[in-house]
Structure 1
Amino acid sequence: MICLVVQHFNINRILLLIIGLWPYQRSPLVELQLILLYGTLMAFIVFQLTTFITVECTLDLIYKVLSFAFLWLCFVIKYNMFWINADILRSSLNQLQNVYNEIKDKNEIAIIEKYGSRAKRITIGLISYFKRKKKKKKSRSHSSPYIVTEYFIDQEKYSYLITLHRHAAGFIGTMAMTATGTMLLTYLQHTCAMFNIACYRVERAIDILQKGGLKNEQKSYEEIIRAVNIHREAMKLSNFIISSIEGSFFFLIAAGMVCLSCNLLLVASLTNNIGQRLLSLTIVFVLYMYMFLSNYTAQDVTDHNEYVFATIYKVRWYIAPIRIQKMILFLLQRGTIDFNILGGIFVASLQSAASLASTSISYFTVLYSTRQN
């Protein structure tokens, strides 16, 4: 029996537990943790925006404040996404576990292990990347901060508290983006495994049928039914969780576009401040990488769904009896439907990632030309 959380979601569980977003065992203490961490993120955004109250507003100041305020807004959106959808995430994991409970074939288990290991490698790679970034940041932690804030207190007297708040907000936000992003990636990788198992079952059904005999025909028929069932479950599980968070993704994309455009502007315009430029360049790189990974994962799910369609055409389905062909028709009909991860709001794909990157550069160009004028 496959234990989903222990074998495949153990790293994701630890990451989400650190920031209080693991959907199981939501005790009052965890709820308090959520409120404190969420409040820390929100307060940091507020104290960035209060700069406009005490300092004369210029275009440079507006772009500088918004470039970081919208980064933390992205953190808040991702944090809030998992907080308010905890029941949906828990239900999705339970449904996925129920599907895996019925899998006994060693080859199908090997497929699940393959995709689970792949998700773990990506998760560990992202954690290692952010650890390296954190070490580099520590080496210049005593330099003057590049993020403009206004706490309405003596900045020098309470500098340690302000620094503590800034680092705490940065840690919580980074953890929120990493933990929630890798959780969704791992979950969708397991739906890819289910699509692959559907392909395996179709091929196995045709192989059994070719052996001949009424008994083998019945086995082949049952295998096709199992292929149809797991394909349906894969589509249902993918749509179930994504349709629940697509509204949050819309706001995340909008906030990300503003953040990217403003930081690109800072990279292009701050000729005398190398530290500020490097920080903005890092943010731009991280956001583009996050955008690519998100859309690549969605494209991967879409490709696996289409691969089921291709597998059915590749095997010798036409030699099957009519009743088996009728069952195969269920898969063929689903294969002709475009599988949109964020259907209705945003069709996630590599092409969409390129479009988003192009859009952010277009917005940056407009802002830069305005600033020059």
Structure 2
Amino acid sequence: MICIKTEYFNLNRILLFAIGLWPYQRSKFVRLYTILCFGILVSFVILQLTAFATVKCTFDLIIKVLCVTIFFTITVIKYNMFWINTYRMKNLLEQLQYIFNELKDENEIAIFMKYGNNAKRCTAIITSFTICSIFIATLIPVWPQIFDIVLHKNESQPHPTIQLVPQYFNQEKYYYLILLHTNVVICIGATTLAATGAMLLGCVICGCGLFQVASYRIEQTMTIKMLKNVHLKNQTIIYKEIIYAIEIHHKAIKFTEFFMSTIKDSFLFIIIIAVISLSLNIFGIFRDAAHGNKAGFLLHVLGLCVLLVYMFITNYAGQEITNHNNYVYSTVYNSKWYIAPLHAQKLILFMLQRGNKAFHLNIGGLIVASLECFTTLTKASMSYFTVLYPMYQ
């Protein structure tokens, strides 16, 4: 028997365990480690906000502090969301395992395994992107010193400015302490975004697999060969297979709804904050390009790429759920259901009636995850930027 956790979510387990959020093996040490990671993220956000209380606020300071603060606030919300819903995430994995164990047909098992492997590959891609992002973000503050070493310059140079920390701090005196804190926050924050995002994406992909299994059951049941040889034995088989298809489809919907009930409130805040952060990063790119601040420019470009990728993946996952659900009903509608036995037609009507109701990943009752939503959110970010940039000039 295949174990879902080890076969398809092993890399997710490593990522979540690295930040203390894996829902299994919750020892006292792991709980203490979770508190430590969360405290480090929160401390960095508070560190940014203290700038407003110690120096005179200017437009440049407000934009710079908010740009960093809002971005890392997303990581705090994601971390807190998983921390609070640890046992619900565990329940999601157990539901997947239970549904998978009930599959008996080899082709259905193969379909689910295909989607499980897709989830594993997506996690690997997200992990690779995260490692590259962490490497770039941690390298930016020290790259002038690296160049000095490579070029064999013996002149003593002042420490480069750490772009993620307000400049009113005495960075020269506490440079290495601040750099260590900043790099630890970058590693924890980036791992949080990758681990939680990959885990949620894996659940969505497996949910799509359940919808595909339901479509496969319908296709196999409503074949011409089966419907043309309608006798008592075949009628019984048709009834059972249709009931099984309805059952797996119902489980897919319930799994998706339970998944959404776990994340919908937190994700609504994340999307709103992400749109604002996207606008501020676009503004930061133009501002730093005009001032010749290469380090700040690269950080804003990196932040922009991370936000766009995250928003696209979220909305694309929602679009895939909608498409797979619609495919179930198109399969039912396009089948030769009208030549099936009367009792079988009545069963099929349940699925056709359910198909009249659109099924989406609804976030907070306000946003429907889809590619159209991604376009709308991106346009909204650009609109806020076009309002903000003239004010700066």
Contact 2:315 2:373 in 1 (8 A): yes
Deviates more, 1:204-213 or 1:120-129: 204-213
How far did residue 147 of structure 1 move?
Answer: 1.4
Q: What amino acid is the match of 2:215?
A: C
Structure 1 residue 170: deviation in Å? 0.6
Q: Which residue of 2 aligns with 1:192?
A: 208
Q: Could you list the per-position Cα deviations for residues 79-124 of structure 1 after superposition, in whole angstroms to 9, with x for gaps in the alignment?
A: 1111101121111221221111110111001101111111111111
Alignment of 1:1-373 (within 5 A): 1-142=1-142, 143-149=160-166, 154-207=170-223, 208-270=226-288, 271=290, 272-342=292-362, 344-372=365-393
Q: Name the CA distance, whole Å, in 2 between partners of 1:213 and 1:322.
A: 13
Q: TM-score, normalised by structure 2?
A: 0.91
Which consecutive aligned stretches of 4+ in structure 1 deviate over 4 angstroms post-superposition? none
Q: Distance in 2 between matches of 1:16 and 1:211?
A: 53
Contact 1:50–1:150, Cα closer than 8 Å, also in 2: no
Letter in 1 for 2:274: G
Q: Residues of 2 paired with 1:198 and 1:62: CA distance? A: 52
In structure 1, what is the Cα distance between the partners aligned to 2:335 and 2:246? 15
Residue 210 of structure 1 and its aligned partner are, at CA, apart by 3.4
Distance, in Å, in 2 between the alignment partners of 1:286 and 1:339 is 28
| Aligned partner of residue 60 in structure 1, secondary structure | helix
Q: Is the 8 A contact 1:194 1:234 kept in 2?
A: yes
Q: CA deviation at 1:76?
A: 0.4
What do residues 185-236 of structure 1 show as CA deviations (whole Å, max 9, x unaligned)?
1111111111011011011111233333211111111010000000000000
The Cα offsets for residues 310-362 of structure 1, whole Å up to 9 and x where unpaired, read as: 00011101111111111111211221111121251311100000000000111
Structure 1 contact 47–150 (Cα < 8 Å) conserved: no
CA distance in 2 between counterparts of 1:235 and 1:279 reads 40
Aligned-pair CA distance for 1:31: 1.0
CA distance in 1, matches of 2:342, 2:33: 59
CA distance in 2, matches of 1:99, 1:138: 43
**TM-score w.r.t. structure 1 length?**
0.96
How many angstroms apart in 1 are the aligned matches of 2:262 and 2:9?
Answer: 20
- How many residue pairs get aligned? The number is 371
Give the structure 1 partner of residue 152 of structure 2: none
Q: Give a deviation string over 1:268-298, Cα, whole Å, max 9, x none.
A: 1221212211210111111011100110011
In the alignment, the residues of structure 1 paired with residue 48 and residue 167 of structure 2 have an alpha-carbon distance, to the nearest angstrom, of: 6
Q: 1:139 to 1:19 in 2, by over 3 A?
A: closer
CA contact (8 A) 2:130 2:191 kept: no
RMSD of aligned residue pairs (Cα, Å)? 1.5
Conservation of the 8 A alpha-carbon contact between 2:161 and 2:167? no
CA drift of 1:150 comes to: 7.4
Contact 1:49–1:149 (CA under 8 A) maintained in structure 2:
no
Q: Which AA in structure 2 matches 1:2? A: I
Q: Which runs of 5+ in 1 are unaligned?
A: none
Displacement after TM superposition at 1:151 (Å): 9.2
Taking the aligned partners of 1:68 and 1:308, their CA distance within structure 2 comes to: 44
Question: One-letter code of the match for 1:107?
Answer: N
1:135-167 per-residue CA deviation (whole Å, 9 max, x = no partner) reads 334543414211133797x53333222111101
